[in-house]
Amino acid sequence: MNVEQRNRRRFLKRGAGLAGLAVAAIRSANGQTTETSTKDLRPYGERSRFEKLARALVAPNGAASQTPLQDSMGIITPSSLHFVVTRYRNNPPDIDPAQHRLMIHGMVDRPLIYSVEEIKRLPSVSRIHFLECGGNSSPRLRRNAQTVQQTHGWTSCSEWTGVQLSLLLKEAGVQKGGDWLVAEGADAGKQTKSFPMSKAMDDALVVYGQNGEAIRPDQGYPLRLLLPGWEGVANIKWLRRIKVVDQPYLTKTEITAYTQPRPGLKGKALWFDFAMGVKSVITRPSGGQTLPGPGFYEITGLAWSGQGTIRRVEISTDGGRTWKDAQLQDPIHRIAHTRFRLPWHWNGEEAMLLSRSTDDIGNVQPTLADLAKTWGTTPGFFQTAFPEHFNPIQPWKVNSDRSVRDALFS
Ligand SMILES: Nc1nc2c(c(=O)[nH]1)N[C@H]1C(S)=C(S)[C@@H](COP(=O)(O)O)O[C@H]1N2
Ligand SMILES: [Mo]
């Protein structure tokens, strides 16, 4: 018997003994006895009672809430902490997956109705993608915001599992001229959104899985449309219908919000501006925190781009005079949160922390002044406006009293 076999036998013996125990007494190194009760063997796990991390509830019933980015680790957002935006403030519909159907119709040769079980039988894919509300970090939403959860918490990142929408559309047979689609949710507000066929055929997914289990009701259980990198509102939850059409439909939910007249367009707005720009934010140290004192810190945060893969994140601790490359966590996924880290020694003096991300098609995260120029206006315009796709470099000011503050407009 070799060493490995012997160890395995010993393990099995011990395992067999433990299985019969309702309460195991564990003697720890310092001689204290800790009780582990059968409750710890509960079928669906819970975190330690000492952990308090939670979403920030923006709407009273939790129909809008933000991810606690300041304490997030790595790149995956636990499903329980994924941000929520459900318009019209309804609770998520309580859908029995056995009753739910997805209909694909309109300009197709074979209109189809799928049950959730039928969709799950099809070839599947799992992909890590972020989701971001088009209004995330917009000045009007962050008026009284102090923390990064409040300023940037309308983005999260999950591993999504489902089928490629292109597969369903090939089954249905898209007719000539069917260049757009309209997706509809089963919520009381009947969220609908138009999107072009090119995205449907490229990387769009109909997902039923999130981080290794069924997607949560808040995220669209049992089926959701995922248009990787595109503004949150296009990612229809509780997906029940996809209609192939010849042109965008200008549905109620897409014309009553998610646009902002731009001065540079003589007051007109950009419609169908789908992909989220390249963005990043330092999550620690960040707004509302108090640093314990001078010394070592790891500056860390998240970067993402709705158009590709993050290639580079630079960090400045002196308000943009000098920049250093941060280390990016491998593997880096396309259209996903990307964790960056940089060691920093804080000398106790005032500092201004910035992060600037670049993606693989060369988009560089703009400063507030750059962004204002693109919009044909001045930074002051943004203070009262409700710009969508607002992705400027976020400055956090570290004061000598050890407090950290949002310094975007100061
Ligand atoms: N059916 C439906 N889909 C929806 C919405 C909704 O209210 N109903 N909200 C949209 C908006 S505005 C955003 S930002 C994202 C939020 O997704 P999440 O709640 O899973 O984070 O869902 C989108 N899809
Ligand atoms: Mo949104």
Tokens of 85: 């935006």
Tokens of 361: 């098609």
> Residue range 94-122: average pLDDT?
98
The reported pLDDT for the residue numbered 89 is 67
The reported pLDDT for the residue numbered 41 is 64
Determine the residue type at 340.
Answer: F
The reported pLDDT for the residue numbered 271 is 82
What's the longest Cα–Cα distance across the chain? 82
The reported pLDDT for the residue numbered 384 is 83
Query: Of all protein residues, whose CA lies closest to atom 16 belonging to ligand 1?
Result: 85
Tokens of 351: 């500092």
Whether residue 37 has pLDDT greater than 90: no
- Atom number, ligand 1, closest to the C-alpha of residue 239: 1
The reported pLDDT for the residue numbered 40 is 61
Cα distances (angstroms) measured from residue 361 to each of 48, 103, 132, 327, 368: 42, 36, 20, 19, 21
Query: Of all protein residues, whose CA lies closest to atom 8 belonging to ligand 1?
Result: 191
Give me ligand 1 centre to Cα 192, in Å. Answer: 10
DSSP annotation string for 71-113: G--SSPPPGGG--EE-GGGPPPP---TTT-EEEEEESBSS-EE
177-214 confidence digits (pLDDT tens)? 999 999 999 998 889 999 999 999 999 999 999 999 99
The three-point CA angle 232-233-236 to 5° equals 100
- Atom number, ligand 1, closest to the C-alpha of residue 86: 7
The reported pLDDT for the residue numbered 143 is 74
pTM of the entire predicted model:
0.90
Say whether 352 sits in a helix, a strand or coil: strand
Q: Which of 91, 102, 155, 233 to mutate to test the pocket of ligand 1 (most atoms within 8 A of CB)?
A: 233
Determine how β-strand 125-132 pairs with β-strand 192-196: unpaired
Determine the residue type at 225.
Answer: L
Query: Residue-wise over 361-374: b if at least 16 C-beta within 10 A, else e?
Result: eebebbbbeebbee
Query: Of all protein residues, whose CA lies closest to atom 6 belonging to ligand 1?
Result: 86
Residue 34 confidence class, pLDDT cut points 50, 70, 90: low
Residue 38 confidence class, pLDDT cut points 50, 70, 90: low
The reported pLDDT for the residue numbered 140 is 80
| Contacts of range 400-404, beta carbons closer than 8 Å, 24 or more positions apart | 400/348, 400/349, 400/350, 402/290, 402/291, 402/292, 402/293, 403/289, 403/290, 403/291, 404/285, 404/286, 404/287, 404/288, 404/289, 404/290, 404/291
The reported pLDDT for the residue numbered 20 is 34
Say whether 144 sits in a helix, a strand or coil: coil
Give me ligand 2 centre to Cα 323, in Å. Answer: 33
- Atom number, ligand 1, closest to the C-alpha of residue 257: 12
Q: How far apart are CA 239 and CA 185, in angstroms?
A: 4
User: Which one, of 190, 131, 121, lies nearest residue 155 by Cα?
Assistant: 131
Q: Which of 66, 81, 87, 221 to mutate to test the pocket of ligand 1 (most atoms within 8 A of CB)?
A: 87
Give me ligand 1 centre to Cα 281, in Å. Answer: 22
Tokens of 34: 């800790």
Q: pLDDT averaged over the chain?
A: 90
Q: Which of 65, 191, 258 to mutate to test the pocket of ligand 1 (most atoms within 8 A of CB)?
A: 191
Rg (Cα) of the chain, in Å, rounded?
A: 24
Q: Pick the ligand that lies closest to the CA of residue 191.
A: 1
Tokens of 331: 């593997």
> Residue range 77-88: average pLDDT?
94
Query: Of all protein residues, whose CA lies closest to atom 15 belonging to ligand 1?
Result: 232
Q: Which residues surround ligand 2, an ion (CB under 5 A)?
A: 85, 133, 232-233
Least confident residue range of 26-40, 59-73, 325-339, 371-385: 26-40
Q: Pick the ligand that lies closest to the CA of residue 160.
A: 1
Which residues have any ligand 1 atom within 6 Å of their CB? 82-87, 131, 133, 185, 187, 189, 191, 218-219, 232-233, 235-238
Report the percent of the chain where pLDDT is more than 90: 78
The reported pLDDT for the residue numbered 343 is 98
Q: How far apart are CA 212 and CA 10, in angstroms?
A: 32
- Atom number, ligand 1, closest to the C-alpha of residue 90: 7
> Residue range 316-340: average pLDDT?
98
CB 171 within 8 A of CB 110: yes
Give me ligand 2 centre to Cα 409, in Å. Answer: 23
- Atom number, ligand 1, closest to the C-alpha of residue 87: 7
User: Which one, of 408, 361, 336, 309, lies nearest residue 130 by Cα?
Assistant: 336
Give me ligand 1 centre to Cα 402, in Å. Answer: 38
Least confident residue range of 27-36, 253-262, 282-291, 366-375: 27-36
